[in-house]
Amino acid sequence: MKSSRFSTIILLTVVSIALASCSFERKFGQNFIATEASKSVVFLEPTGYLFKTNLKNTSAPKGAKLKQTELEAIKFENSKFLKLISDSIFLTRFTEAYMAELNALGLNVCLDGASATDCPPRAHNFKITIDQLELQEFDKTITDEQYIYNTVYQKDINLEAVSMHAWFLITETANTNRQPKALYAENQLAEEIVKSGFLKSRKTGKILHQLKTDKLSLSKIYAMAEELGRKYASYSFDYILNHYIYSSYPKNSKPQRYLHYNRFTGKLESAGDEHFTRQ
């Protein structure tokens, strides 16, 4: 009986601590959004180069002994989309969307350098470096499978795809002694299947595979630049938000969750898997 009562006390204590931790998270998070975000300045250093890598299989000319750089050049020329993408257009659309979203989230943003003189330091000052952006072109293979007359039919489908890989450095300027760790994110855009399946030909009686897709295009890749600019700005804001929450916590205690601020609902919620990873 005593053991049962003791276990109940321990359980209630653990629950109380967990609830208190959640309360702290929301309290500090809401305080940052309501008052501290507007007192924060981000000095942004964009990248000036877009890396492009073609991962599709490309064979070198027979008998040719090529250096790695020469082989990469051949693969680049054999790409469908990478060779057509303008670095300046892609980077401009990404950076402008990134800055606009940070502003919409409540932060003051200036380009690092000459224009930084227009942004006097405030209570919280951060430098964000877009350290590297890379586009990779590849074939995304999926298998369509269907049972017809107790027989399994399979068809491998190669979908055109492009992925973006991004590395960021975020530092609080007041804490210059700490070496920033790279923050990483990646997303992909692929040709979409509209219709896929097997059917029996009326003429031959053979089982045929039919496929209809929404093709990948250059305009969709440029649109992805803007979409991911906004997405990674949200990741950056959440990183700064959670840094503030962590710094505000009482000693010998730490947050239990990594929070995301949804500016459309005005609410704090668990970020889940939607955040930067450290590298």
In 3D space, the residue among 139, 160, 128, 108 whose CA is nearest the CA of residue 229 turns out to be 128
How far CA 262 is from CA of 50, 84, 266, in Å, comes to 29, 35, 6
Residue 20, pLDDT score: 47
Residue 213, pLDDT score: 95
Decide: helix, strand or coil at residue 202: coil
- In this predicted model, which residue has the larger pLDDT, 13 or 138? 138
Burial of 6 (0-12, 13-18, 19+ CB in 10 A): exposed
pLDDT tens by residue, 123-138:
899 999 999 999 999 9
- What is the Cα gyration radius of the chain? 25
Structure tokens that stand for 79 in this block: 């790409």
Confidence of residue 279 (pLDDT cuts 50, 70, 90): confident
What is the pTM (predicted TM-score) of this model? 0.87
Residue 57, pLDDT score: 84
DSSP 33: I
| Portion of the chain with pLDDT greater than 90, in percent | 68
pLDDT tens by residue, 146-180:
988 888 999 999 999 999 999 999 999 887 677 88
Secondary structure string (H, E, C) spanning 240-275: HHHHHHHHHCCCCCCCCCCEEEECCCCEEEECCCCC
Residue indicated by tokens 């943003």: 109
Instruction: Please give the Cα distance from 22 to 91 (Å, whole number).
Output: 39
Residue 205, pLDDT score: 87
Instruction: Please give the Cα distance from 228 to 163 (Å, whole number).
Output: 11
Q: Is the pLDDT of residue 4 over 90?
A: no
Q: Is the pLDDT of residue 237 over 90?
A: yes
Average of per-residue pLDDT across 29-56: 95
